[in-house]
Chains A and B, each alone.
Chain A
Amino acid sequence: MRRFLAPLALSAALAGPLWGAPERPAVLQVAATTTDLKALVEEVGGDRVKVESLAGATHDPHAIEIKPSQIARLKRSALLVRIGLDHEPWLARAVATAGEARLAPGGAGDLDASKTIALLQSETPRLRTDRRAHVHAFGNPHYWLDPENARAITAAILDRLARLRPEERTVFAANRDRFLARLDAGLARWKRALAPYRGERAVVVHESWPYFAERFGLSIVAAIEPTPGVPPTPATLAGLAQRMKASGVRLIIAEPYSDASLVRQVAGRTGARVAVLVPSVGADPAAGDYLALFDLNVKRLAAALAPQ
């Protein structure tokens, strides 16, 4: 990469005096597939990087229709950070269309953040001999919702940014240290807030929260809509409500885009409280960055669980 850049920089330096072009772009262009990864790259890169997210915070990451602007964004990016697993089925075609070899899987500019994570729910589909929905055949991809995982993700980001910009490694490392200090303070704060509710059982609408639940000591017992987009059957719904009542589950975790009438009905039948948790940075105005995302979710969870 450097060998490739050197003649470029030289020619730019020579040409510079002619029309005043800078030797190299001041900031590193990075593309992230989600707003959460964008937030984490920004924490490490600071003002030395310009990060753009290919998917919006509220877009279904499984169903993105690729736009020309996203191809252009990929073309000018030195680094592509992605969730990996089967979270971005549209990405392979976008990268192929962009035609930049460095962004192809395994290339110098491709960072699959899932490689750094101990995944949950990663049983191979072969084992699931009975009929059960497994949308996430390679393990549950919502790993950014465990704040501890941000350590490994930012470490990988730091490593990659420093390889692309060796002279700025110390800046990136200092940024990451500052972020980790704030993360530690946040973790202490969040764990304190949720400590009274350790072991609380919860029903989720979608299987987006296993990492979050594991970290904060919640136990997820069932999903209302195991296959996104396929409404539950009457028997499932009746059985679920009955089990929830029988075993005293009093919390439903929904997302902002969950089917409101479905959540209302399960809550109405069981008397459980609903916590609408935000799965991505930017999906709620109050979740502006990675730490704010957890501040908001912990606040909503504690409010739903607090005795009234």
Chain B
Amino acid sequence: MIELLTLPFLACLVLTLMHVHLGLHVLARGVIFVDLALAQVAALGLTVALLAGHSLQGEGAYGYALAFAVGGAVLFALTRTRGGAVPQEAVIGIVYAVSAALAVIVLDRAPQGGEHIKQLLVGSILTVSARDVAALAVLYAAIGVAHWALRRPLLEVSLDPEGAARAGRVLVFWDIFFYASFALVVTSSVRVAGVLLVFAYLVVPAAIASLFVRSVRARLALGWALGAAVSAAGLWASWAWDFPTGATLVSAFGAAIALAAAGIGAMRAANAIRAGGLAALRPAAAALGGLLALAGALLLALPGMDHPWLDAVESAAPQVRQAFLDDDEIETLRDTEDSLARGQTDLDRLRRMEQDVRWGTLAMDAEREERLRQFIAGRAELVAGDQLVLRTLRDTARGRQRFPLGLLLAIGGGALAFFFGRRVPDRTLPKRNV
């Protein structure tokens, strides 16, 4: 595991160091989607390179991508207007959509298909090579040093453009510098990590850090720490739960910001309870009641549809289902569950055996091999049959749960929602000064 994930983790660290810094600027400027737009423009450059006869892995293609991305960056720098009729977000969106469409048109005529481009957008952080990581580290170190040396004007232009202009800064020059180095970073990162992951590194750590601390320095430090921690957690999850690595990392960033938001929500709720007593929870209780009533109404109206919440309840407490089945049915249920577990174990064992035969680690003559294959097919059919029985029993139980359970939830939830949702007379709450 360590051996396979070392290089990806190093790549993640390099990405974290560069992107959290740029992400703070991007958040301050409010141009969140500039990253996706520039990545798409770079992809358009790659398709044009294909059309011109370059191979995608070559330096020529990288040059095209970079030239296109820098062109897009200059466009963004020139369209940064304040108070104009067209906000910059519109320009970014237009550039994104049009360059994606142009890429489709160019690909239609390119001698190679779009597979490579698709792979580039998805990225392959898992199979990154030592050379990729080293090249990225050297490039980002150079950009980092330049940005550090010029941090004062860059921050002024991002955080307080009016003040910077009054102080005599030429905004267009600094914007071009910022967006051009941004384009260079995005073009290089996307080659290694793919569009989605690059976007996550750019926005999520910086956003979480902005929720908790104020100063640029503190945000940068917290963002770096978060980026490194989430990278490690995502890589671990990808290994332990057997998920594709890039997508798992992006989801880990999503989980991180959801956790941060939940933490802040819990803190606020605790504060509200401290200030106003348990009455502060009334809206939450009303919402819960509403959800229960909705679940009950759906069970009443459409007992045949999927009710994942009921499945979850039943798997935690089988009595909820068994209470609605007669003794015969419960016996069938138990038998089927046993047989299913046995069948699944058998099937796993046989599949492993088939794999061993296939790989040549287990010798077997052709006839026995064919018999094994038939046997597996038969077993799989039995397992599928057992699953069908379980589903039928579930549907039977659902039909009987429909009215008692559905009515109970609908009425109880509705009452809960009504009781906690109604307007409370002012005297029960401390006076608020709005």
Q: Mark A268-292, 1 if CB is under 8 A from B, else 0.
A: 0000000000000000000000000
| In the complex, residue of chain B having the shortest beta-carbon distance to the beta carbon of A285 | B111
CB A149 to nearest CB in B, in angstroms, measures: 22
Partner of A237, one of B4, B112, B116, B380: B4
Tell whether B331 is near chain A: CB-to-CB under 8 Å. no
Chain B residues positioned under 8 Å from A259 (CB to CB):
119, 124, 127
Count of chain A residues with Cβ under 8 Å from any Cβ of B?
A: 39
Count of chain B residues with Cβ under 8 Å from any Cβ of A?
A: 40
Tell whether B118 is near chain A: CB-to-CB under 8 Å. yes
Tell whether A28 is near chain B: CB-to-CB under 8 Å. no
Chain B interface, >50% SS class: helix
Partner of B242, one of A67, A130, A235, A247: A235
CB A181 to nearest CB in B, in angstroms, measures: 33
Tell whether B163 is near chain A: CB-to-CB under 8 Å. no
CB A121 to nearest CB in B, in angstroms, measures: 12
- Assuming A127-B380, A129-B384, A261-B127, is B4 touching A238 (CB within 8 A)? yes
- Assuming A59-B113, A126-B384, is B359 touching A221 (CB within 8 A)? yes
Partner of A56, one of B113, B244, B351: B113
CB A250 to nearest CB in B, in angstroms, measures: 12
Contact B124 A65 (CB under 8 A): no
User: Once the chains are docked, how many angstroms separate the CA of A265 from the CA of B8?
Assistant: 13
Tell whether B5 is near chain A: CB-to-CB under 8 Å. yes
| In the complex, residue of chain B having the shortest beta-carbon distance to the beta carbon of A199 | B360
User: Once the chains are docked, how many angstroms separate the CA of A128 from the CA of B379?
Assistant: 11
Chain A residues positioned under 8 Å from B126 (CB to CB):
231-232, 234, 237
Q: Mark B355-395, 1 if CB is under 8 A from A, else 0.
A: 00011110000000000000001001101100100000000
Contact A233 B113 (CB under 8 A): no
| In the complex, residue of chain A having the shortest beta-carbon distance to the beta carbon of B110 | A58
| A209-237 residues at the B interface, CB under 8 angstroms | 219, 221-222, 229-237
| In the complex, residue of chain B having the shortest beta-carbon distance to the beta carbon of A59 | B113
Partner of B244, one of A219, A230, A238, A260: A230
Tell whether B85 is near chain A: CB-to-CB under 8 Å. no
Contact B116 A261 (CB under 8 A): no
Contact A232 B244 (CB under 8 A): yes
Q: Can you pick out 18 interface pairs between chain A and chain B where the beta carbons lie within 8 Å of each other? A: A59-B114, A60-B114, A128-B380, A219-B358, A221-B359, A229-B118, A230-B244, A231-B126, A231-B127, A231-B246, A233-B238, A233-B243, A233-B244, A235-B239, A235-B242, A236-B242, A243-B361, A261-B124
Q: Which 6 A-B pairs have the closest CB atoms?
A: A257-B115, A58-B113, A265-B127, A261-B127, A247-B359, A235-B242
